[in-house]
């Protein structure tokens, strides 16, 4: 029963973070719709480019900190050494403040250089506004990692939602106000469109900064409320020698560097895509306005929608690392393999229906959210939906490898995948003249290569053999059947009602219900597995009343 309880808690904590990530992404999607109406595809190009540069420095300064801190803290707590777990947190916090401040200054004063490097000089306005966020997120991420290492994701989840709500409100208001102000500035300087879009994009990034401040305030409040409890637990524990802070900082850095390299290389493909696509498009004779608008559609619509389901894998990976680290530290290989299987299976249960649903309803979804009925937009989302499965799987497998202390494996894999990705993108653009679709296919290819390489790594390092039928075959077949149903429902209702909104929403709801029914009817998911999920018992009662279980 103890093992079952741990497994249940592991999935529940992962699910809490996943739900928070999904809610945050949905809020992010909702506020980007009115913001898109204000700044347009050209403004989205500036906004997206600024974020891609910001994300690289975020990766360098602090993105790996929550994962590294949760891993170090959970390993010490599993050994009954909360005293040093707390010292590791304090050492990590000091490192975060130094690294966060350093990259904030680099990004703020180097904004013009980085923006010009990516052939998007007007994105420097938004990038400067984003710069202070790097320091704030570094501190906040360390505190989140501390709580995740203690086995609770609730503070991280709530702070994430608060952060995004504030972000949404400020982004909409600030982008509207600054877009108008930028138009006036541009009228004086003789370039109204570019300055309006640049100031509008800066308004959007202002929301990110102020939202991060709100998230930091909340999680700091929780931390200071919990600190007396932590100190009381430390006093009750068996005395352990205190690790020197010099040693702690060294271990923190040695833990962060492999995670940092892996996540940076894994995520830097977006920046590489941005610079390479625009350089090659310019070489092929496309105007800056044309390739800028296409990139704006890709980053402001396609990637924005695809990232919603991928957030589940990211959240589950974040909760997987500390639990795997604890099992690995205790040399409990059976628990380790069970948790790897649970994490991968749970991720695939979500990824397959999301990929199929988004692929089938790409056009209607874009029309519903962005009033966009342009063929290239629907084609980008439809093709890009394939990458949901591969990105979800490669993200969770990255977390597994990091959790079992095989940090170098995802680094090496990411380097190989990135090299192949760049070559693949260049061939698709220069040989096949696929333009922006080359970026969509290259992203899918990159995630696919990462999946294969990470699978080999997990099999070799954890002596783990992945079960195929229930984790992949069953959800894939069920999702395909669901896709046929969704397509039929949408087409039928659109034919009867002569509109898009109601048929799209109805098709999505029918898709969710039909996928659940198919999975249960075909034994693709069992009663025991439902019990491990949040509100699983409620779902079981519903399915029992419907005589499906």
Residue 5: its pLDDT value, please?
Answer: 45
How far does Cα 235 stand from its chain's mean position?
38
The larger pLDDT score, comparing residue 334 to residue 265, is at: 334
Average pLDDT of the chain, as a whole number:
85
Six token digits for residue 269: 């493909």
Return the closest-CA partner of residue 383 out of 361, 360, 352, 359: 359
pLDDT in tens, 377-413: 999 999 999 999 999 999 888 888 877 878 778 888 9
Handedness of CA 278, 282, 283, 286 (dihedral sign): positive
What pLDDT sits at residue 510?
A: 96
What pLDDT is recorded for position 15? 62
Split at pLDDT 50, 70, 90, the class of 7 is very low
| Band (314; pLDDT cuts 50, 70, 90) | confident
pLDDT confidence tier of residue 362, bands split at 50, 70 and 90: very high
pLDDT at 18 over 70: no
Q: Which residue has the higher pLDDT, 67 or 415?
A: 415
CA dihedral 140, 145, 151, 156 (to 10 degrees): 30
The predicted model gives 265-274 an average pLDDT of 78
DSSP-based three-state secondary structure for 178: helix
d(CA 290, CA 200): 20
87: its two tokens? 């010292």
Q: What is the Cα–Cα distance from 275 to 325, expressed in whole angstroms?
A: 37
pLDDT over 90 (residue 268): no
Measured in residues, the chain has a length of: 549
Q: What is the mean pLDDT of residues 176-192?
A: 90
Question: In angstroms, what CA-CA distances link 23 with 122, 141, 207, 500?
Answer: 31, 19, 17, 24
Q: Name the DSSP letter for residue 242.
A: P
Q: Is the pLDDT of residue 17 over 70?
A: no
The pLDDT tens digits for 93-132 are 988 899 889 999 999 999 999 998 888 899 999 999 999 9
Looking from the CA of 203 toward its CB, the CA atoms found within 13 Å total 28
8 A C-beta contact, residue 312 and residue 388: no
Give the pLDDT band of residue 536 (cuts 50, 70, 90): low
Contact 268, 56 (CB under 8 A): yes
Percent of the chain with pLDDT over 90: 40
- Tokens found for residue 166: 């504030």
Residue from 475, 454, 473 nearest 464 by CA = 454
Contacts 24+ apart (CB under 8 A), 452-460: 453/412, 453/413, 453/416, 453/417, 454/393, 454/394, 454/397, 454/398, 454/400, 454/401, 454/409, 454/410, 454/413, 455/397, 457/397, 457/401, 457/406, 457/409, 457/410, 457/413, 458/340, 458/397, 458/400, 458/401
The model's pTM: 0.73
The whole-number pLDDT of residue 155 equals 85
């Amino acid at each position: 029963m103890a093992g079952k309880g741990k497994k249940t808690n592991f999935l529940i904590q992962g699910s809490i973070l996943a739900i928070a990530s999904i809610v945050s992404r949905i809020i992010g999607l909702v506020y980007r719709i009115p913001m898109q109406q204000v700044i347009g595809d050209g403004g989205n190009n500036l906004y997206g480019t600024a974020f891609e540069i910001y994300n690289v420095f975020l990766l360098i300064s602090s993105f790996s900190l929550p994962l590294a801190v949760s891993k170090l803290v959970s390993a010490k707590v599993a050994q009954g050494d909360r005293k040093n777990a707390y010292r590791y947190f304090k050492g990590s916090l000091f490192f975060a403040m130094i690294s966060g401040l350093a990259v904030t200054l680099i990004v703020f004063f180097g904004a013009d250089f980085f923006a010009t490097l990516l052939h998007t000089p007007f994105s420097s306005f938004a990038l400067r506004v984003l710069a202070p966020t790097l320091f704030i997120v570094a501190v906040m991420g360390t505190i989140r990692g501390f709580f995740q290492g203690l086995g609770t994701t609730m503070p991280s989840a709530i702070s994430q939602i608060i952060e995004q709500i504030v972000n949404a409100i400020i982004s909409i208001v600030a982008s509207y106000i600054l877009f108008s102000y930028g138009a006036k500035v541009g009228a004086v300087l003789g370039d109204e469109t570019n300055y309006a879009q640049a100031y509008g994009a800066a308004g959007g990034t202002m929301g990110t900064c102020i939202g991060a401040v709100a998230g930091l305030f909340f999680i700091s409040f929780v931390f200071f409320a919990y600190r007396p409890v932590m100190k009381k637990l430390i006093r009750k524990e068996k005395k352990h020698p205190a690790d020197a802070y010099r040693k702690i900082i060294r271990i923190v850095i040695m833990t962060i560097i492999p995670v940092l390299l892996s996540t940076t290389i894994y995520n830097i493909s977006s920046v590489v895509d941005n610079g390479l696509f625009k350089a090659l498009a310019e070489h092929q004779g496309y105007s800056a306005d044309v390739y800028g608008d296409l990139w704006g559609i890709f980053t402001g619509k396609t990637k924005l929608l695809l990232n919603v389901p991928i957030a589940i894998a990211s959240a589950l990976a974040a909760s997987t690392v500390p639990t795997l680290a604890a099992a690995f530290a205790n040399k409990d290989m059976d628990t380790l393999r069970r948790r790897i299987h649970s994490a991968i299976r749970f991720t695939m249960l979500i990824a397959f229906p999301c990929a199929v649903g988004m692929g089938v309803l790409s056009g209607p979804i874009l029309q519903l959210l962005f009033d966009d009925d342009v063929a290239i937009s629907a084609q980008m989302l439809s093709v890009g939906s394939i990458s949901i499965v591969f990105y979800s799987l490669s993200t969770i497998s990255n977390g597994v490898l990091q959790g079992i202390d095989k940090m170098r494996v995802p680094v090496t894999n990411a380097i190989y995948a990135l090299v192949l990705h760049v070559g693949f993108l260049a061939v698709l653009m220069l040989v096949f003249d696929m333009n922006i679709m080359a970026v969509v296919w290259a992203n899918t290819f990159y995630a696919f290569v990462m999946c294969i390489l990470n699978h080999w790594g997990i099999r070799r390092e954890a002596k783990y053999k992945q079960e195929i039928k229930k984790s992949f075959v069953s959800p894939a077949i069920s999702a395909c059947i669901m896709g046929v149903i969704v397509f039929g429902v949408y087409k039928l209702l659109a034919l009867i009602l002569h509109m898009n909104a109601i048929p799209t929403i109805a098709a999505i709801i029918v898709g969710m219900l039909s996928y659940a029914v198919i999975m249960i009817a075909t034994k693709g998911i069992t009663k025991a597995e439902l019990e491990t999920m949040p509100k699983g018992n409620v779902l079981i009662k519903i399915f029992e009343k419907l005589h499906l279980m």
